[in-house]
Each structure stands twice: as C-alpha cells, then as structure tokens.
C-alpha cells in the first residue's frame, strides 16, 4: 500500500541483474564503449531517426540541461504552472541555463491550455529588451496531474511554439506511461508532433537511475556535450546507465512495466469510483491517481500502513472539496500489486 511515489520502488529485477551481467570486463569511459554505442543505436531505432542521446543523473538534470541548450539572454520558458520544472527543481533550470526565467501557464488537469499559451507568448512579442523574450516551450508528458496530452494537443501547442520561433521540450519523466496510455510510437509522441528535445526518464519506470536527454537534431550534439560536462553530469562509467537501458528496452520491458503501472492506477481509480468515502478528482490516464477522500477514510488507511501524499489542490478544484475531505495523490509502479490495491480498497471502505 505504498503509493507515495514511483521513486519509492527499487529496480526491476531484470534491470538490477543487468548491472551484474555487465560488471565484468573493461569498457572505454564516458559513454564511448560498445554497450553505450549499442544503446545509442537502440534509441535511434526506437525513435525512428538519428538522435543524439546524453545520459544525465536526474530528471531535474535532464530538464535543466535541455533548457540550457536552448537558452538565450533574457529567455523565457513557458511551462505549466504545476510542472515539475517550476515546482520541484529548486531553481536548477535557472542556475544551469545561466538565468532563463520559467513562466507559468495555466490549464486544467496539468495540461497547458492553448489560449493561455497564446496569451503568454503574446506578452513577449514583439521582442522587447526589458521584458525578455520567448526561448522555449516545455511540455510534461505524462503531466504532473497524471493526465496525458493527446497527439493533437501536442501538435497544436508545438505549432504555436514554432510560430513564435521557439523550440519544444518535452519532460518525459513518465514518458513510457504516457506512451502506454496513448498506445502510439515514441516518434509519434515526439518529433512527429513537433517536439525538439526530450527528457527521457527511466528511473520512475523501474530503473535504478536512468535518465537521458534525447536531441532530435543530432547536429546539436557537440554543443550539448560541453553543456553536460560543465554541469558535472558526465558519468565516467556510463556503462552502468547503458546496462540499465539495455535491459529496459529488451523485449519491450519498458512498455510492459508502464502498462502494468497504468493498469494498477486504473484499478485504484476503480476503487475510488466504487467507494462511498472517496471520489476521483479527475480521471487518471497514466500511473498517478488524484482522489478526494474523506479524512477519516484516509486516516484509517494510513493506520493500516498505506502511504500516500497530501496534495495541494489546483485553484479550480479547491472549492469543490468539503471540510471533511482532502485531496491526495497515489502513484503506482512496477512494484505495485493487485493485492496492494485491494487491501487499500478494503481499508478506505
């Protein structure tokens, strides 16, 4: 009943084992070994085009360096008001990009609303030295609200960015969960819809530590290599990331894990729909479920060992929550079992 976060789980056995399997023997350092190169090729294969891949240590690093690579003096990055990059990264994007400013854009359920983006972009057009200037759009897929942009929505927002002359970054900390939800290809969810660079996260989906920046324009790779190194994000034994991704991609493990987590999230959702002590705040689409519970039910579950976080309600939801109710977040992972969910269902009643 540990629904605190997908980063509370350890590593999928296949991924942990891969680290033993590749432990022996030598490989040239800094990502130039045979396994590293094989994984690089695998990324290009998965994305159906030549991509440049850069491992980094954390999702925050992937986002921050992605944005650093498109930074310019006075630059403004448009992101959702509740996005990880603005809410949970302690100023890393600003520091590592040399001073980009993150501009919060509104929209229900974690998704940027096109009109809101249009207005936000409009504030910085034409370019005006005092106000700063548009530098990038950052989308989160799946969102922090456990929802998923449709392919059309991605294309629509990306078109707006393109019209403003700025690149599109996708924060894919839960990329696999979104992909599983949409049941499309990685290419369709990214560059085919106008995404220029991607934070590709494996950690939340069963890896120990496997995050990468994927550049759909490999021509920018050389510049990025310096950005990464001078941000202290270049692993020497990069093989330990490659070994994880090698197992991750083998036989579609990554999608299998993501589908599993999503299924567990749906099972949780069904629990909330069925409960008289709880209701869904909105429909989950990936592996995060937001629900409004009676405080007494939540306490009961916690006494029985359930772990999940209180959640700050978005603006538009706050009024809808009664005084004896509260909003909570529940996250599933490869480690979540049906038994977990069912025991939790029994606990809340």
Could you give the maximum distance between any two Cα atoms of the chain, in Å? 61
Least distance to a copy of itself from the beta carbon of 185, Å? 27
Residue with smaller CB distance to a copy of itself, 225 or 266: 225
Minimum distance, C-beta of residue 242 to a copy of itself, in the bound complex (Å): 11
Rule CB under 8 A: choose which of 99, 114, 156, 313 binds a copy of itself.
99
Q: Answer yes or no: are the C-beta atoms of 249 and 243 closer than 8 Å.
A: no
Binding a copy of itself (rule: CB under 8 A), the pick from 198, 335, 345, 347 is 335
User: 104-163: which residues touch a copy of itself (CB under 8 A)?
Assistant: 123, 127, 129-133
Spatial strand order of the sheet with 101-105 comes to 52-56, 211-215, 197-201, 168-172, 133-140, 75-80, 101-105
What length is written for the chain? 349
Of 123, 109, 114, residue with least CA distance to 101: 123
- Per-residue x/- marks for a copy of itself, 202-241, CB under 8 A? -xx---xx------------xx-xxx-xxxxxxxxx-xx-
2 lies in the site for a copy of itself, by CB under 8 A: yes
The residue from 34, 38, 91, 125 that contacts a copy of itself (CB under 8 A) is: 91
Q: Which is nearer to a copy of itself, 194 or 206 (by Cβ)?
A: 206
Between the CA of residue 206 and those of 6, 56, 193, 211, what are the distances in Å? Answer: 8, 17, 27, 12
Q: Which of residues 300-329 bind a copy of itself (CB under 8 A)?
A: 312
- Whether 212 and 54 have beta carbons less than 8 Å apart is answered as yes
Question: What DSSP state is assigned to residue 127?
Answer: -
Window 17-46: residues binding a copy of itself (CB under 8 A): 17, 19-20, 22-30
41/62 Cα distance (integer angstroms): 19
Position 102 contacts a copy of itself (CB under 8 A): yes
Comparing CB distances to a copy of itself, the nearer of 151 and 209 is 209
Q: Report how far Cα 115 is from the mean position of its chain's Cα atoms.
A: 23
Minimum CB–partner distance for residue 181 and a copy of itself (Å) = 22
Nearer to a copy of itself, 223 or 283 (CB): 223
Give the range of 95-103, 112-120, 276-284, 289-297 binding a copy of itself by CB under 8 A: 95-103
Residues 69 and 233: beta-carbon distance below 8 Å: no
Rounded least distance, CB 262 to a copy of itself, Å: 19
Residue with Cβ nearer a copy of itself (242 or 277): 242
Count residues contacting a copy of itself (CB under 8 A)? 80
Question: What are residue 166's phi and psi, to 5 degrees?
Answer: -120, 150
For position 330 contacting a copy of itself by CB under 8 A, the verdict is no
SS (H, E, C) 235-276: CCCCHHHHHHHHHHHHHHHHHHHHHHHHHHHHHHHHHHHHCC
Rounded-to-integer distance, Cα 113 and Cα 305, Å: 38
Name residues contacting a copy of itself, limited to 256-295 (CB under 8 A).
Answer: none
Of the two residues 149 and 211, which places its CB atom closer to a copy of itself in the complex?
211
43, 47, 59, 79: which one binds a copy of itself (CB under 8 A) = 59
Report how far apart, in Å, the C-alpha atoms of 39 and of each of 22, 36, 51 are. Answer: 13, 5, 11
**Count of other CB atoms within 10 angstroms of residue 339:** 9
* Residue 103, φ and ψ in degrees, nearest 5: -115, 115
User: Residue 41 or 101: which CB sits closer to a copy of itself?
Assistant: 101
Nearer to a copy of itself, 99 or 114 (CB): 99
Q: How far is the CB of 165 from a copy of itself (least distance, A)?
A: 13
Task: Report how far residue 133's alpha carbon sits from residue 288's, in angstroms, rounded to the nearest whole number.
Answer: 34
Over its C-alpha atoms, the chain yields an Rg (Å, rounded) of 20
Closer Cβ to a copy of itself, 194 or 202, answer by number = 202
């Amino acid at each position: 009943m540990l629904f605190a976060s997908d980063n509370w789980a350890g590593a999928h056995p296949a991924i942990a084992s891969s680290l033993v399997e590749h432990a022996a023997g030598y490989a040239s350092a800094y990502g130039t070994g045979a396994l590293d190169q094989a994984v690089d090729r695998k990324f290009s294969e998965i994305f159906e085009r030549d991509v440049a891949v850069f491992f980094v240590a954390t999702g925050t690093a992937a986002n921050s360096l992605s944005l650093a690579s498109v930074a310019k003096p006075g630059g403004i990055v448009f992101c959702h008001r509740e996005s990880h990059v603005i809410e949970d990264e302690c100023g890393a994007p600003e520091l590592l990009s040399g001073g980009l400013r993150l501009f919060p854009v509104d929209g229900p359920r974690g998704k940027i609303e096109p009109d809101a983006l249009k207005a936000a972009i409009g504030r910085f057009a034409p370019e005006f030295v005092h106000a700063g200037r548009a530098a990038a759009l950052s989308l989160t897929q799946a969102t922090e609200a456990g929802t998923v942009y449709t392919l059309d929505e991605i294309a629509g927002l990306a078109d707006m960015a393109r019209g403003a002359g700025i690149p599109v970054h996708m924060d894919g900390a839960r990329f696999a969960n979104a992909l599983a939800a949409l049941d499309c290809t990685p290419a369709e969810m990214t560059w085919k819809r106008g995404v220029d660079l991607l934070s590709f996260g494996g950690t939340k989906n069963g890896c120990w530590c496997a995050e990468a920046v994927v550049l759909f324009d490999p021509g920018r790779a050389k510049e990025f290599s310096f950005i990464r190194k001078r941000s202290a994000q270049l692993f020497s034994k990069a093989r330990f990331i490659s070994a994880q991704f090698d197992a991750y991609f083998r036989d579609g493990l990554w999608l299998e894990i993501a589908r599993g987590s999503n299924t567990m999230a749906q099972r949780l959702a069904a629990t909330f729909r069925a409960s008289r002590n709880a209701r869904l705040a909105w429909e989950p689409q990936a592996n995060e479920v937001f629900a409004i519970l009676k405080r007494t039910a939540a306490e009961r579950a916690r006494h029985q060992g359930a772990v999940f976080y209180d959640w700050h309600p978005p603006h538009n939801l706050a009024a809808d929550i009664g005084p004896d109710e509260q909003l909570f977040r529940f996250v599933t992972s490869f480690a979540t079992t049906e038994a977990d969910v069912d025991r939790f269902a029994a606990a809340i009643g």
